[in-house]
Amino acid sequence: MLISSRFHDYYDSAIGMGIDKTCVYDRKTSSTKERGTYHWFHGQRTKARQHLIGFCGKLYPVVEIEYKESCASEYYYNRKDLEATDWAKNQSKNKYKYFGDFDVDNDKGRKNFFENTDYSKFEKYFSDNKCPVFILEDVRKRWGWSARKHSEGDLNYHRLVLNPQLKPIKFMRIKDPYTAFQDIFMYISGVIGNTEKDTVGIDDKHMLKQKGFDKWSFKTMPGTKKPRRRGKKDK
């Protein structure tokens, strides 16, 4: 598979295993706002962003925790890893008595987000955009009740990113470079390829031949006289 892209991703190293030039991944990134499709973070009061990654027909929920001490974010792809963090343990001391059903700062919310939610309705983004990878990205910059007063903290707004870079969100924890490369290759050449087969146009010359005609079908062959048309005097 050839990759046409302006950035390098972690699975690009697998190109060294061999290239099939008949398959090209045009990894052009674009993004749009998606509203009215999310419900899993209503009431969230902590600095945890909840994303959904689409990769070759499958969906992976992930929680991003922003740590002020290191000025960096960490990503957790399952409930067990998230609950083992000091962040999750400290959330049990939260002074708020109310928790939303999808707040990942409590046991019920984490279980709902990672295990009890059917995300299949978001699979349409694969076929609608004909891309193997996307992210439904939580773009909130403010948390708590103040988020409701700011456009960047709109609780009904996520960003759909097509063909994103997976290295920053540590997706190699889910797919190693070789497996990720092979999955994308198979998805593009198989699933997407089967939906994008172009109709091959046939010119008139080959169409006539296909129908059983030749160059003399509408002409008089050499040496053959045309039948004389009867005029009025011949009657």
In a domain, 206, yes or no: no
- pLDDT, average across residues 124-131: 94
Q: Is residue 222 part of a domain?
A: no
pLDDT band at 89 (very low <50, low <70, confident <90, very high): confident
State residue 222's pLDDT score.
64
What pLDDT score does 97 carry? Answer: 46
How much is the average pLDDT of 164-183? 96
pLDDT at residue 235, as a whole number: 53
Domain that holds residue 40: 28-174
Residue 23 lies in a domain: no
Residue 33: is its pLDDT beyond 80? yes
- pLDDT tier, 175 (very low <50, low <70, confident <90, very high otherwise): very high
Question: What are the tens digits of pLDDT across the range 208-223?
Answer: 555 556 665 556 656 6
Residue 72, in any domain of the structure? yes
Residue type, 38: Y
**pLDDT given for residue 194 in this prediction:** 62
Q: Does residue 182 form part of some domain?
A: no
Report the range out of 52-56, 61-65, 194-198 with the highest average pLDDT.
Answer: 52-56
103 neighbors 41 (Cβ within 8 angstroms): yes
- Tens of pLDDT, residues 142-173: 444 344 444 444 555 689 999 999 999 999 99
Query: Is 19 a member of any domain?
Result: no
The three-point CA angle 132-138-139 to 5° equals 115
Q: What is 110-129 written as a DSSP string? A: HHHHHTS---GGGGHHHHHH
Query: pLDDT for 2-15, tens place per residue?
Result: 999 999 999 999 98
How many CB atoms are located within 10 Å of the residue 223 CB? 5
Total number of domains in the chain:
1
Residue 42 and residue 112 in contact, taking contact as beta carbons nearer than 8 Å? no
Tell whether 49 is covered by a domain. Answer: yes
41 is a domain residue: yes
Determine which helix (DSSP H) or strand (DSSP E) holds 137, and give its type and residue range: strand 133-137
pLDDT tens across 188-209, in order?
Answer: 998 987 654 443 445 565 555 5
- Determine the Cα–Cα distance for residues 189 and 132; give it in Å rounded to an integer: 11
